[in-house]
Structure 1
Amino acid sequence: MKEGTSLKRSLGVWSIVALGLGYMTPTVVFDTFGIVSKQTNGVVPLAYLVALVVMIFTAFSYGKMVRVFPSAGSAYTYTRETMGASLGFLVGWASLLDYLLLPLVNALIIRLYMESLFPGTPAWIWVILYVAAVTAINVWSMNSTSGLNSILVIFEVVLLAAFIVLASVQLYQGMGTGTLFTLDPLMHEDVEAIAVLMGATIVCFSFIGFDAITMYTEEAIDANTVPRAIFLTLLIGGGIFFTCSYFAQSLFPNVGVFTLVDDTLPEIALFVGGKVFQLIFLAGAFAATIASGLASHASVSRLLFVMGRNGVLPRKAFGYVHPKFRTPAFNVIFVGGVSLLAIGPSLKLISSVINFGALIAFTFVNLSVIAYFVFKKKRYKTMRDIFSYIIMPTIGAGLTGVLWYFLHLDAFIAGFVWVVVGIIYMLYLTKFFSRKMKDFDFEEVDKPVEKEA
């Protein structure tokens, strides 16, 4: 690829981990705590453990595929190169539903925060200011995005540590279960397996950041950077979610104490640390949302870039890299335009749709491992190969299938409509399959790297 048309390799392991954690938004554990606690009958940490197990199997598959296909396209690229361009396009299209809406959700949350602080100011002002700032930072430099994101994530982690300390004090003084060590947040007589699985379906999307960081593959310093970052992001994020939900569940065995179950973060902070801590913690949640906004905006811009480079989206626009900043500038601005829609809709409406694309991506990454290593490379002759390339990804795909079963009906409907639109577009693009959906004339940067995975 010619100089000036490739993304700049500047990101190390911890820079990418910070982007992944920023994408995850660790404080979301408190936003959804009331909903999940009510759903699971008071075992939120158990729901996070179940979700983490599912994500670990999928993370193994991501780690294998990102080494073979060191491209920013993630599930789209893996499926396209292992199971066909048409199916790859549909997986990428479905993933777009998830990736495009996440920056919009962050803009919407910022709007809600600012509306509560300044109720007399028109909401559209906050959306425009926020989107303009995030878009400008992402266009300017990936290093700038990563650096600011890292600062925000560190601030967030410090506040979470402060919450754990204050929660420990409150438990010691008799609040909630009145003890630091109890199995009640994990198991009690009212726990039902179906309820826990439904809770896991809700919280598993807190882990989306670990797969989104594969979008930075072409900006990583070397080939081993992203696989390491995937597991570090997943384990650190999972540890944060589990620990914070454990203390929250110990403090609040039931949701009767909350006046607003749909978003318990403000009241949790108030009950644990008082009014001053509540204000500081809200500032942390604000910072977390901005960090997530930066990371999610950057990720979807890279997915659009790869789809544009492959010609399935208009190449001159979506495959463009700014010659000076070495970022996919058009895509960044395009995502900013989509995020401006946060001026109107409700958070519930948008968030109910996001889950659809994520599970499609997770499922097909697992299936891509089988398609590539078993069917293309014939890696099934030893027990190690069978375990690595058949058993592990099959379990991963099966577990995501279980979570798929418990998706909300609204997510199915919206996702189905989106996929139908994608099929119509694919028929137009291929002139009803009279032409193939392949890299038409561009360099084959997504082709596999022939080495041991």
Structure 2
Amino acid sequence: MCAVAAPTLKRSLGMWAIVGLGLGYMAPVTVFDTFGIVSEETDGVVPMAYLVGLVVLLFTAVSYGAMVRAFPAAGSAYTYTREAIHPALGFLVGWASLLDYLLLPVVNAVIIRLYMEQFFPEVPGWVWVVGVAALLIGLNVVSVKATSRVNGVLLIAALAGIAAFLVLAGLQISKGLGTGTLFSLQPIWHDGVQLTAVLAGTTIVAFSFIGFDAVTMYAEEAKNPNAVPRAVMLTVLIGGAIFFAGAWFAQSAFPTLDGFEYTDDTLPELALFVGGQAFQLLFVAVAFAAAVASGLSSHASVSRLLYVMGRNGVLAPKRWFGAVSPRFRTPVFTTVLAGLVVLLAITPTLDLISSVINFGALIAFTFVNLAVIAHYAIRQGRRRTPADVVRFIVLPLLGAAGTGLLWVHLSADAMILGSVWTAVGLVILFAVTRGFRRPVAELGIDEADGADGSDADEASAPDETPTVPTR
């Protein structure tokens, strides 16, 4: 009698659906939520912080594309580090990145709570948080396809709202608001700005880019795995362009924060100042939709990271963490668990959560760059031609150096909380390996949809990606 195969993740996503999930994850309207925090940190050059972040993370995006070709399995930085360098290090990188993946849905719940508290101060904040958690769990349990469709609709609404903001802000600037022109260099540099302040601001906005890496979590659900590297680059380029444009218009209109009452989340007041109360209500509704879209995407990603770590035997019990529902073809247990973590959004502030997120994210980015060198340049020996040296040594080294530079500029609170989280991971690793006397449980990557560690871009599978973001 043949054994019944265990259920696996369903391949249902085309390239533009994955890009849409990535952009939804990034929540482009976040540039307006954190504008006040970053403007204070950078002395009024928010666009420069985003520009530096985009340049640094482009190198890392190239590395993610290279690694997802080699290992087209879910798990992202965790999978790449464990397979290219060492399983134990992979666990620690996965544990560090788990911090930012777990907290990203929390960020969106915090943003929604802040919106609602400004408009409905009489309603307890926990009510909104519980509602968000229930929504994320419900949609992500049903199917990633349903998540993709809802995300696509909400993302389109968010992009339309951003376009409306840019038009209204441009009109106000032309009438003399702020710099009085969109062609001034003041939003990216002026007297008194310090490079260290810009880097500190970049560490805050870096969490806005998290999403380009998260799309690699859908490698086992992509119709064509070859489309994932392209989705990575498109996500970071499109998202970076939106962030920079939003920051440029906002900074040109408001060189200082004079007149703002809520600097923790400036989006509602930005909308009020450029378009009046009617636009404020509309833009907050759009931002609410974007936060839900980001919450759906980030919640789906973290549930898959937990699932892969459980499938690999490093999160126990494996029968819970590593299980896929036969009915829904989704990791139900990890989806519910990640949804419960969202309840942490009841009290934290946006700046604290965003800075802590970057601790894990920047560690993950750094090691993905190093994994490219380990896998391609060292294991495969692809360092004999100038092209290979640039692709597999120079570019990932630049990516690792850039993300490492941002990491050392994190806030003290982020470093403390992140270090505590890492210490907990070390304790777990010590227990799993029984004092490092036995190897970390490993999953043969060839069991995850036939990946063999070779460049998948040489495969001949046809590109079946749809042409509509929401397909």
**1:6 maps to which residue?**
8
1:361-401 CA distance string (max 9 Å, x none): 00000000000011101111100010000000000000011
Q: What are the equivalent positions in structure 2 for 1:5-44 lying under 5 Å apart?
A: 5-44=7-46
**2:415 maps to which residue?**
412
Does 1:451 find its partner at 2:455?
A: yes
Shift of 1:176: 1.4
Q: What are the equivalent positions in structure 2 for 1:374-393 lying under 5 Å apart?
A: 374-393=377-396
SS, match of residue 407 in structure 1: coil
Distance (whole Å) between structure 2 residues aligned to residue 35 and residue 442 of structure 1: 42
SS, match of residue 351 in structure 1: helix
Does 1:396 find its partner at 2:399?
A: yes
Distance (whole Å) between structure 1 residues aligned to residue 350 and residue 52 of structure 2: 26
Q: What are the equivalent positions in structure 2 for 1:20-419 lying under 5 Å apart?
A: 20-314=22-316, 315-419=318-422
Does 1:422 find its partner at 2:425?
A: yes
SS, match of residue 300 in structure 1: helix
CA contact (8 A) 1:309 1:442 kept: no
Shift of 1:292: 0.8
Q: Compared with structure 1, are the counterparts of its residues 173 and 122 closer, same or farther at alpha carbon in structure 2 (3 Å cutoff)? A: closer
Distance (whole Å) between structure 2 residues aligned to residue 179 and residue 111 of structure 1: 35
CA contact (8 A) 1:78 1:368 kept: yes
Q: Percent identity?
A: 59
Amino acid at match of 1:451: D
Amino acid at match of 1:174: G
Distance (whole Å) between structure 1 residues aligned to residue 263 and residue 123 of structure 2: 27
- Structure 2: 5+ residue stretches without partners: 458-471
CA contact (8 A) 1:11 1:221 kept: yes
Q: Compared with structure 1, are the counterparts of its residues 188 and 119 closer, same or farther at alpha carbon in structure 2 (3 Å cutoff)? A: closer
1:142-175 CA distance string (max 9 Å, x none): 1110000110010000011011111121122121
CA RMSD of aligned residues (A): 1.8
CA contact (8 A) 1:270 1:278 kept: yes
Shift of 1:103: 1.4
CA contact (8 A) 2:383 2:392 kept: yes
Distance (whole Å) between structure 2 residues aligned to residue 452 and residue 142 of structure 1: 24
**2:468 maps to which residue?**
none
Give the aligned length.
453
CA contact (8 A) 2:76 2:216 kept: yes
SS, match of residue 255 in structure 1: coil
Amino acid at match of 1:329: V
Q: Compared with structure 1, are the counterparts of its residues 251 and 2 closer, same or farther at alpha carbon in structure 2 (3 Å cutoff)? A: farther
Q: Compared with structure 1, are the counterparts of its residues 105 and 3 closer, same or farther at alpha carbon in structure 2 (3 Å cutoff)? A: same
Q: Which segment is superposed worse, 39-48 or 113-122?
A: 113-122
